[in-house]
Amino acid sequence: RRQETAGGSLCFPDTLVGTDSHTTMINSVGVVGWGVGGIEAEAAMLGQPVYFLTPDVVGVELVGRLREGVTATDLVLTVTELLRRQKVVGTFVEYFGEGASTLSVTDRATLANMAPEYGATMGFFPVDQKTVSYLRTTGHSDADCELFEAYFRAQGLFGIPRAGQIDYSRNVRLDLSSIVPSLAGPKRPQDRIALPEMASRFNELFGAAEADDGFARPPETLTQRYPTERSGVDLGNGDVLIAAITSCTNTSNPVVMIAAGLLARKAVARGLKVQPHIKTSLAPGSRVVTDYLEKAGLLAPLAELGFALAGYGCTTCIGNAGDLDPAFNKAISENQLVAAAVLSGNRNFEARIHPNLRANYLASPPLVVAFAIAGRVNIDLDSDPLGVGDDGQPVFLRDVWPGSEEIEAALPFALDPETFRRRYADVSADQDLWNAIETRGGEVYDWPPSSYIARPPFFELPPLPAGDITAARALLLLGDSVTTDHISPAGSFGEATPAGRWLREQGVERAAFNSYGARRGHHEVMMRGTFANVRIRNLMLPADAQGRRPEGGYTLFDGRQTTVYEAAMAYMERGTPTIVVAGEEYGTGSSRDWAAKGTRLLGVRAVIARSFERIHRANLVGMGVLPLQFMADDSAMALALRGDETYEIRGLGPDLVPMQNLTLVILRADGERLERSLLCRIDTPIEIQYYWSGGILPYVLGELMEQAAAGR
């Protein structure tokens, strides 16, 4: 970054924090940056520093080269699987080695982008010659690029380190030549599946228990087909109903986007089609993408297969694909079908893509097109044909997969600096609808009546009671890998949900409900949507004879089943504090601040888990909710917790310090008493102040009022 000062130009390495967890994409060009929660970002905008513990730095040595036919998507899904096993949550990951040097900046961006999925704070690539070339390609001036290179060389920061040059906290090694074409799913980004194993893995999970991440369906129903009310369409398990080329992870990479277009062109030439009942879409992150696809003659064949431009942005990746045909929803629900989505996104958590699609797979853009043509995920595309061509002969994936020479020949269309300069000279120029919105001036918003936005209650919440938490009850008892999508879903919701009932009471018609994400400016909707994901499983609820528990936002209150929202309100009316108990990786996924805001508004005082994801842990503290971590081998399962216990958390007080041990007292329904140690995951001294202030926002407001009173 260059900053003009009275003494001349000052250059220094730039940094970035962003409210999107995939801010880490900036790491691909040597910029230190990561995602933070919206709460923390709001405080930063008001002058509050961003605090964090000094992290371990994990060095990931990349050796070798990617093989023909292997994409950056295959690489990042493999890295996500590898680094999740290495438990890199809260660390900085730095890529080094001769293999890292061979990767293009756009391939590096794909790897850096998914740092949240593998749990790291960053996925960093140092600056090298490819970084400088990329800046030139994307429209930066020669003078700026020359200064950029000269500065990093002068500071000794130029070049990808070789093995042995840097002492990392620990090292991980990956041979790029070992990477194979892959997908990830059906429920988590780290669950990689090699392409030839898709059919066998789906069939295995179909009958597996939910506790084993399966679907717990009767194996004899696997191959059955079911009629729908839409003429000529029947559905079966494994059928693809949504196929989307979307998300920042992949649409920013011209190699995989061009590969998708070339595959589409070859498929169209052979007479292959996508069945019209499959919901297909193309939603790049930038207008530059559609520019170069059109110049290369690849936009038309994609559109012919149904992948027409739907817009620019997250779309399907965040659950904004829109609904399915009502006939399909009915057939899926009535027959308990395990239908699928395939997308080039970065997250595939349960019910994120669509509430009725249980199997969701991440894949490269060309594989998204391929599976859309095949129409199902329980297929081995190495040996089974995609379909039958115009000549009546089977067409296999290998017949339409583009070679590296074909991709290289089309890449110049994507590497035009003038396109980047033109598109980013004025990013608001083509936004006629947005620019036409009437706005009011002034510094104070007047909060007109609306079911979309309302004055938030966070500054009016009662202060946290000083001292220990006593006589608390469990609101939910959850398992591992509970994501922010489970806690605060962003997708659509029905009329029977607490949020749906509230909107109906306000006179909003069902057709106008929209989504939780669209209504995140209104706390009445969002608090009712907290812990309301249709796939969340509360282990307090009794299982049936097959070991399956009810899904959705339900809990037990006084022994009867009710919604989490209704139980939370009843506990608050009684003055009873509540806690949430969970397993490993609590709060993975989006940096969704409503997952913490909603938790606080439901009256939850503490979350006890085996481990926390970085951003959500910070968000909980930022809302005055206490994150506590089980120690040693303790867990809800090891302690045989049922959810009907009474809990006390002792050791809280004005002398609380970061990472302090606290005492959990468990009083079982039969009178048994148990004490265990917990690690308080308030990690820094400033977070202690945030917590006792009831969160970051009340703390910052107090600071501003003190400054105003002092005349500063």
198-230 burial: b if 16+ Cβ within 10 Å, else e: bbebbbebbeeebeeebbbbeeebbeeebebee
Whether omega for the bond prior to residue 186 falls within 30 degrees of 0, making it cis, is yes
Which of 337, 240, 346, 344 minimizes the C-alpha distance to 289?
344
Q: Please report which helix (H) or strand (E) contains residue 227, including its range.
A: strand 225-227
Task: Give the pLDDT band of residue 425 (cuts 50, 70, 90).
Answer: confident
Q: Which residue has the tokens 């006629």?
A: 432
Tell me the per-residue pLDDT of 590-648, one tens digit each, with 9 for 90 and over.
889 999 999 999 999 999 999 999 999 999 999 999 999 999 999 999 999 999 999 99
pTM exceeds 0.75? yes
Alpha-carbon gap, residue 96 to 126, rounded angstroms: 8
Task: Report residue 168 as tokens.
Answer: 């990392």
Check if the beta carbon of residue 396 is closer than 8 Å to that of residue 385. yes
Alpha-carbon gap, residue 99 to 293, rounded angstroms: 29
Helix (H, G, I), strand (E, B) or coil at 16: strand
Helix (H, G, I), strand (E, B) or coil at 85: helix
Tell me the per-residue pLDDT of 190-201, one tens digit each, with 9 for 90 and over.
999 999 999 999
- Mean pLDDT along residues 210-220: 91
- Mean pLDDT along residues 77-91: 97
Whether the per-residue pLDDT at 417 is higher than 80: the answer is yes
| pLDDT at residue 434, rounded to an integer | 84
Task: Give the pLDDT band of residue 431 (cuts 50, 70, 90).
Answer: confident
Whether the per-residue pLDDT at 692 is higher than 70: the answer is yes
Which of 523, 630, 516 minimizes the C-alpha distance to 580?
630
Say which residues have a Cβ less than 8 Å from residue 122's Cβ, sequence separation at least 6.
24, 27, 32, 33, 34, 92, 93, 94, 112, 115
Domains in the chain (CATH in brackets) are 2-178 (3.30.499.10), 182-417 (3.30.499.10), 469-488+533-706 (3.20.19.10), 494-529 (no CATH)
Alpha-carbon gap, residue 362 to 348, rounded angstroms: 7
Task: Give the pLDDT band of residue 373 (cuts 50, 70, 90).
Answer: very high
| pLDDT at residue 545, rounded to an integer | 78
Helix (H, G, I), strand (E, B) or coil at 362: strand
Alpha-carbon gap, residue 200 to 46, rounded angstroms: 53
Please spell the DSSP secondary structure of 608-629, one letter per residue: EES-B-HHHHHHHHHTT-EEEE
Phi, psi of 179 (to 5 degrees): -70, 140
Task: Give the pLDDT band of residue 372 (cuts 50, 70, 90).
Answer: very high
Task: Give the pLDDT band of residue 443 (cuts 50, 70, 90).
Answer: confident
Task: Give the pLDDT band of residue 712 (cuts 50, 70, 90).
Answer: low
| pLDDT at residue 260, rounded to an integer | 99
Check if the beta carbon of residue 420 is closer than 8 Å to that of residue 139. yes
How are beta strands 122-124 and 387-388 bridged, if at all? unpaired
Q: How many residues does the chain have?
A: 712
Tell me the per-residue pLDDT of 446-492, one tens digit each, with 9 for 90 and over.
899 999 999 999 988 888 888 999 999 999 999 999 999 999 999 88
Tell me the per-residue pLDDT of 532-576, one tens digit each, with 9 for 90 and over.
999 999 999 998 877 788 999 999 999 999 999 999 999 999 999
Alpha-carbon gap, residue 503 to 526, rounded angstroms: 11
Q: Give, rounded to a whole angstrom, the gap between the first and last alpha carbons of the chain.
A: 30
| pLDDT at residue 708, rounded to an integer | 86
| pLDDT at residue 642, rounded to an integer | 96
What's the chain's average pLDDT?
A: 95
| pLDDT at residue 494, rounded to an integer | 92
The number of angstroms, rounded, from the C-alpha of 226 to the middle of its chain's C-alpha atoms is 33
